[in-house]
Structure 1
Amino acid sequence: MKKSLLVSSLFALFSLPLWGAEQTVTLDVPGMTCAACPITVMTALKRVDGVRQVDVSFEQREARVTFEDTQTSVTELTEATANAGYPSTLKQSSADQK
């Protein structure tokens, strides 16, 4: 009985990250000034744990990022772009679009 309770507890503990939600946000990245800048921004964002997809638009100076909210946050995403030399701010999230 104790063994099955322990196994159930461990399973529940390690399954918690699976209960998170996928979010999509749009970051305003005004510092992109050349066609090569989006590559740097995309690389920085893809290195953040939990990021699933990144689409960067040079023309609109923005990055659309899909991520697991249990693994990262908007703050970590904006820190990643800032550390790469491209400060960003939250422009829009998937919750705003509904």
Structure 2
Amino acid sequence: MKKLIAAFVAVALTASSAFAEGFRTVTLDVTNMDCAVCPITVRKALENVPGVATAKVNFATKRAEVVFDPKQAAVDALTKATTDAGYPSYLERGK
């Protein structure tokens, strides 16, 4: 049983490393979010960009953390998606 669990953990770690390899994470500052429902719209807009793996939007900080494949998407596509949804964004300073 211990060998089975160890094998499962090894496979999971290998798969997550392969997934993370080549992906990029950026933080976007998002404007115009003024209610608790706004982050849902922003998240959906980001998730519709080809190459986006995950998008987490925080209403309190007015930021979105996006994991994407730079071979399929660019930061410009991410900011355009949020802007087109009514929530202009820009790459967080220092990132």
Q: For the superposition of Structure 1 and Structure 2, which TM-score range results when normalised by the shorter chain?
A: 0.7 to 0.9
The one-letter code sitting in structure 2 at the alignment partner of 1:86 is Y
In the alignment, does 2:91 pair up with 1:90? yes
Gaps of 5+ in 2: 1-20
Greater Rg over alpha carbons, structure:
1
Gaps of 5+ in 1: 1-19
Residue number in structure 1 paired with 2:34: 33
Residue number in structure 2 paired with 1:78: 79
**Deviation at 1:92?**
5.5
C-alpha root-mean-square deviation of aligned residues, in Å? 1.5
Residue number in structure 2 paired with 1:47: 48
SS in 1 for 2:92: strand
Aligned residues: 75
Q: TM-score, normalising length from structure 2? A: 0.75
